[in-house]
Amino acid sequence: MNFGQNNPCYELNLDINENYKTLVLSAFDELKDKNKKYLQPEATKKEFPELWNILGPLEPWFCEKVRIINHTTEDLGTSAIHLDVNEHLQYESTSPDAITQCALNIPLFEPVGDITRWWRQKNPDVIMPYDFWIGDGNSLETHKTNNNIYDMECIYEFEIKNKPVLFRTGIWHNCEQKAPQIRCMLSFHAHYTVDWDTLVATAKKYDLISL
Ligand SMILES: [Fe+2]
């Protein structure tokens, strides 16, 4: 299952140093009880510009709001198959239902064998971005994978390790954790008007992707 230049994710040659992790954890502590939709606090570039430095030449391609994840995927709902949407209003003045095409995740945990999978729909059903997940947006107890079953085929899988990864988030995907362990990770979304092919081509132009 390798599509060469058409993968739904690419590791990037960007360096994460220990100092960066300290910056992220300090921002998380400052924000954890505010600025959050569901569980993930949101940091803005205005308040925490140093968090954007890691993006290098790709910095202008990304929104000025980043999600700081410090949770299990089950708690976040991302263990269920889903499409990423604008629920954190990372695209200002745009519907929270707008689908986001590309994310750049910065892992700040030791790899533990977690697998992200991408799926292709094999039926004509109208499936909503979070049709495999239920939750009222407030209480943790309601965040659950539901039992909806649609015929889907797995088209790619990837284990996140120590490198930043570009993820195609506008097609069905989910993340399966080996064990329900808290993972610290930043998740940037590319601007609303940036499509996946353009972002991958740009990362290649800057020699951030080795194939
Ligand atoms: Fe996602």
Could you tell me the distance, in angstroms and rounded to a whole number, from the CA of residue 18 to the centre of ligand 1?
26
* pLDDT, tens digit (0-9, with 9 covering 90-100), for 137-168: 555 555 566 666 788 999 999 999 999 999 99
Could you tell me the distance, in angstroms and rounded to a whole number, from the CA of residue 117 to the centre of ligand 1?
10
User: For residue 155, what are the domain limits?
Assistant: 4-205
Residue 10: which of 129, 102, 83, 99 has the closest Cα?
102
Q: Is residue 39 part of a domain?
A: yes
- For residue 144, the model assigns a pLDDT of 61
Could you tell me the distance, in angstroms and rounded to a whole number, from the CA of residue 168 to the centre of ligand 1?
9
Q: How far apart are CA 35 and CA 31, in angstroms?
A: 6
Could you tell me the distance, in angstroms and rounded to a whole number, from the CA of residue 25 to the centre of ligand 1?
21
- CA 42 to chain CA mean position, Å: 13
β-sheet bridge partners, residue 103: 167, 189
Do residues 103 and 45 lie in contact, with contact meaning Cβ atoms separated by under 8 Å?
A: no
Q: Is residue 210 part of a domain?
A: no
> For the domain that residue 197 is a member of, what is the CATH number?
2.60.120
Do residues 52 and 59 lie in contact, with contact meaning Cβ atoms separated by under 8 Å?
A: yes
* pLDDT, tens digit (0-9, with 9 covering 90-100), for 82-107: 899 998 888 988 998 899 999 999 99
Q: Is residue 211 part of a domain?
A: no
Total of domains in the chain: 1
